[in-house]
Amino acid sequence: MLGSVRGRLTLLTIALVLTAALAATLLIVDAYRSHRASTERQISETAGAMSLAIDGKAREVTGVLQVLALSPHLKAGDLAAFESQARRAVPHDDKWVVVADLDGQQLVNTLAKPGEPLPRMRLPADIDLRERETYVSDLLQGMVEKGRVIAFATLAEGPGGRPYILAIAMRPSAPNAVIAEQRLPPGWYGTLVDRKGVVIARNVEAERFEGVSASPDILERIRKSPEGVGDSVSLDGRETLVAHRRSPVTGWTFLVGVPRAEVSGSLSRSLIMTFVLCLALLALGALLTVWFARGVTRAVESLEGAAEAMGRGGAAPRLATGLRETDAVAEALHGASLKLKAREAELRQLNDTLEARVVERSRELEETTERLVQARKVEALGRLTGGVAHDFNNLLTAVIGNLDLLGKRIKDEALEKYVANARQAAQRGAKLTAQLLAFARRQRLEPEPLDVNAVIEGLRVLFDSALGGATRVRAELSPDPLWAMADRTQLELVVLNLAINARDAMPEGGEVLIETARERVSGPDPRLEAPAPGDYVRITVADTGSGMTPEVLARIWEPFFTTKPVGAGSGLGLPQVLGVVKQLGGGIRVDTAPGCGARFHVYLPVAAPAEKAHPEPVEAAPVDFAGLKVLLVDDDRDVRSATADLLRDLGSEPEEAVDAADALARLDAGAEPRLVIMDHAMPGLTGAEAAQRIRVSHPALPVLLISGYMDAEAVARTWAGPVLAKPFDKQQLAARIAAALQAAQTGGD
């Protein structure tokens, strides 16, 4: 029950109504208390006032009594004269004057008819008479008057000092008249009782209750205290609130009573009204509760419906239930359901495209892996090729050196031919190693800003002789010079290689188009040979020949891959081209399809224009080698001795050192060569490092560094001085020595 909206509302209503009822009851009880207190005060005051009024009348009577007591007629014993005086003084017929002797024998009674014999009075037991003092009686049985009477009495002096009892008697109607004068509010009781508590006078039903004794609780209260208020029962048997006041003058007590119903009536009426009102409120509350609860329940049920709709995957509707809170919740549900639906749709779409995306990613991954494997392969191949070529080069250096020496000594013509053949073969081997090292990107390059257009123009004569009659070369060069960073000799080789491939692709002859332009490459290209994003000078070599299948295209960069007949192609052309271009910081793109020709685009990094044309290499002045002291440093014994023999053959005097440390030690020990010739690749200190030290310790001593293809790059990075590339023959050695000595003399490198 308490779990429902109706239950809680009912509880709330009951709690509110009960609280209100409690508050009303407390207020009513408080009002009753103050009402009763004020009634008590009122009746007490009224009792006091009544008592005072009775006292006033008593004093009047006492005054008259005292005056009559002093009457000379009485003293003289002239009772007749006294009687007429008394009749004048007390004219009222409900009051009369009595004179009696101390035995009670009446002598004068103004109530009796003249001459009527007067009875003897029975004196009350408590009578206490004194001269000049008034005794007030309780209610007495009259003697002459047959009804009840009250009397005021005193002692008076008769003839010869004889004491008489002088009294004024009266019927209870006298005090009744006094009470009536006071006009008590209707319903109130006013009762005068004597010292014994017997009723003397009463404002209502005086005759009925005259002589009746007041209730014992009232008597008890009167006895205890001269005044007070309390509950009692009236003589006619009604519940009453009674106040009493005893008069010190007469000893009588005046009682004022109010029916209790009059005091508490308002209380019970208010309580009943409150009760009825509470019942009515409860009923109204119950009705309102049912009504409100039904409204709330309906709103909540609509919410439930909305939530269920949402649960089924639909949109929760907007609601107007009349309750702000539920409408807000419905709005939130509506928003949430729309979002949910959108999210679901997204998810579904994502799910649908998932497969396609997985396939796409897998393909990308495969391609990347393929490319990576390819790159590793090329790299490994490069390392292998480079290593073999390096050692091969050392051998060739020794072979060529020795053939040179042999050639000089032989005078036999037939033998000279053998030597010439051997030297030619060795030179071919050197060319092959050069190609291999180019592919391995280990070759020594001398990049400089070159106008690519000028380089191609310079190749024209060579094209004509190299390509043969059926193939024409057409150049479409950009009108402005195009400056690129490149090595002149190697660039010429690249263009020539591509042109020869183009010729080979057109056996029937045709046109080779060479085009140059500036081009910006944007966006990354994952292909190994492609250029990185940036600004380039592009050289395109295009033919209209056989073109390539994708399978061929995929392998053209592999060394020794060729489709040409044995002996016609080595398969090293394109690998060398790519090696050079990549080493220069560029890249290559190829457009081709079978039967549609091929276009090779070579990209070279853009360079700032050279400030002046490259100075023509100055012919080195002839050097006198005779007696030239040279310190020759090489860890390879064969190469060292071959080089030493060449030097000796030139006429110089070589001193051999086995490594860099040996060379430095010899210099320190006081050796004074004109020149140091030092191999670069040596265990311990490299040639370049040793050369740097020599430059510091012997600044005037020139050093010529011999570099194999393998270390061309490392040498270029660490050594700016003269270099002799392996393999070399006697002429090349002589030329480099001359250049190194001249540079040292002119102060440059």
Nearest to 246 by CA among 43, 41, 55: 55
Closest residue to Mg ion using C-beta atoms = 573
CB of 687 to ligand ATP, least distance (A): 33
Interface with ligand ATP includes 579 (CB under 6 A)? no
Selected range binding ligand ATP among 44-52, 221-229, 322-330, 541-549, rule: CB under 6 A: 541-549
In this complex, which beta carbon is closest to ligand ATP, that of residue 466 or of residue 661?
A: 466
CB 448 within 8 A of CB 408: no
Residue 534, class by beta-carbon neighbours within 10 Å (0-12 exposed, 13-18 middle, 19+ buried)? middle
By a kind-dependent CB cut-off of 5 to 8 A, residue 639 interacts, out of Mg ion, ligand ATP, none, with none
For residue 161, how many C-alpha atoms fall within 13 Å in the half-sphere facing its CB? 0
Interface with ligand ATP includes 513 (CB under 6 A)? no
Selected range binding Mg ion among 112-120, 380-388, 495-503, 512-520, rule: CB under 5 A: 495-503
Binding mask 593-632 for ligand ATP (x = CB under 6 A): -----x----------------------------------
Cα angle, residue 202 at apex, residues 197 and 208 outer, rounded to 5°: 90
Nearest to 194 by CA among 153, 253, 147, 234: 253
By a kind-dependent CB cut-off of 5 to 8 A, residue 74 interacts, out of Mg ion, ligand ATP, none, with none
**Partners of 265 in the β-ladder:** none
Amino acid symbol at 288: L
Q: How far is CA 139 from CA 126, 136, 234, 287, in A?
A: 12, 10, 20, 69
Residue 474 and residue 494: Cα distance in Å, rounded? 17
Pick the binder of ligand ATP from 40, 138, 194, 543 (CB under 6 A): 543
Interface with ligand ATP includes 562 (CB under 6 A)? yes
Interface with ligand ATP includes 494 (CB under 6 A)? no
Interface with ligand ATP includes 563 (CB under 6 A)? yes
Pick the binder of Mg ion from 175, 447, 547, 573 (CB under 5 A): 573
Selected range binding ligand ATP among 78-86, 277-285, 559-567, 687-695, rule: CB under 6 A: 559-567
Selected range binding Mg ion among 69-77, 260-268, 381-389, 499-507, rule: CB under 5 A: 499-507
Residue carrying the six token digits 């009744």: 176
Pick the binder of ligand ATP from 192, 572, 676, 715 (CB under 6 A): 572
**DSSP class per residue in 490-522:** HHHHHHHHHHHHHHHH-TT-EEEEEEEEEEEE-
CB of 473 to Mg ion, least distance (A): 16
Selected range binding ligand ATP among 89-97, 164-172, 561-569, 701-709, rule: CB under 6 A: 561-569
Interface with ligand ATP includes 28 (CB under 6 A)? no
CB 389 within 8 A of CB 436: yes
In this complex, which beta carbon is closest to ligand ATP, that of residue 271 or of residue 462?
A: 462
What are the tokens at 128? Answer: 């206490």
In this complex, which beta carbon is closest to Mg ion, that of residue 256 or of residue 494?
A: 494
In this complex, which beta carbon is closest to ligand ATP, that of residue 427 or of residue 544?
A: 544
CB of 556 to ligand ATP, least distance (A): 4
Interface with ligand ATP includes 546 (CB under 6 A)? yes
By a kind-dependent CB cut-off of 5 to 8 A, residue 563 interacts, out of ligand ATP, Mg ion, none, with ligand ATP
A 10 A CB-CB count for 131 gives: 10
CB 146 within 8 A of CB 171: no
What are the tokens at 200? Answer: 């003397």
Pick the binder of Mg ion from 137, 247, 501, 652 (CB under 5 A): 501
Interface with ligand ATP includes 501 (CB under 6 A)? yes
b (16+ CB within 10 A) / e for 486-515? bbeebbbbbbbbbbbbbbbbbeeebebbbb
CB of 548 to ligand ATP, least distance (A): 5
Residue 148 and residue 175: Cα distance in Å, rounded? 13
What is the length of the chain?
Answer: 749
Residues 6+ apart with CB under 8 A from 338: 315
CB of 455 to ligand ATP, least distance (A): 20
Binding mask 526-565 for Mg ion (x = CB under 5 A): ----------------------------------------
Pick the binder of ligand ATP from 107, 139, 306, 505 (CB under 6 A): 505
In this complex, which beta carbon is closest to ligand ATP, that of residue 499 or of residue 623?
A: 499
In this complex, which beta carbon is closest to ligand ATP, that of residue 136 or of residue 502?
A: 502
Q: Where are the beta strands (DSSP E) in 26-120?
A: 95-101, 106-109
Interface with ligand ATP includes 573 (CB under 6 A)? yes
By a kind-dependent CB cut-off of 5 to 8 A, residue 678 interacts, out of Mg ion, ligand ATP, none, with none
In this complex, which beta carbon is closest to Mg ion, that of residue 285 or of residue 573?
A: 573
Interface with ligand ATP includes 742 (CB under 6 A)? no
User: Phi, psi at residue 717, to the nearest 5°?
Assistant: -75, -35
Residue 353 and residue 479: Cα distance in Å, rounded? 51
CB of 397 to ligand ATP, least distance (A): 24
CB of 555 to ligand ATP, least distance (A): 8
CB 569 within 8 A of CB 504: yes
Q: How far is CA 176 from CA 94, 193, 530, 664, in A?
A: 11, 12, 144, 164
Interface with ligand ATP includes 510 (CB under 6 A)? no
Residue 39 and residue 676: Cα distance in Å, rounded? 145
In this complex, which beta carbon is closest to ligand ATP, that of residue 483 or of residue 557?
A: 557
Q: How far is CA 722 from CA 627, 635, 734, in A?
A: 22, 20, 13
What are the tokens at 458? Answer: 């310079």
Q: Residue 735's Cα: distance from chain center in Å?
A: 80
Which residue ranges make up the site for ligand ATP (CB under 6 A)?
Answer: 501-502, 505, 543, 545-548, 552, 556, 561-564, 569-574, 598
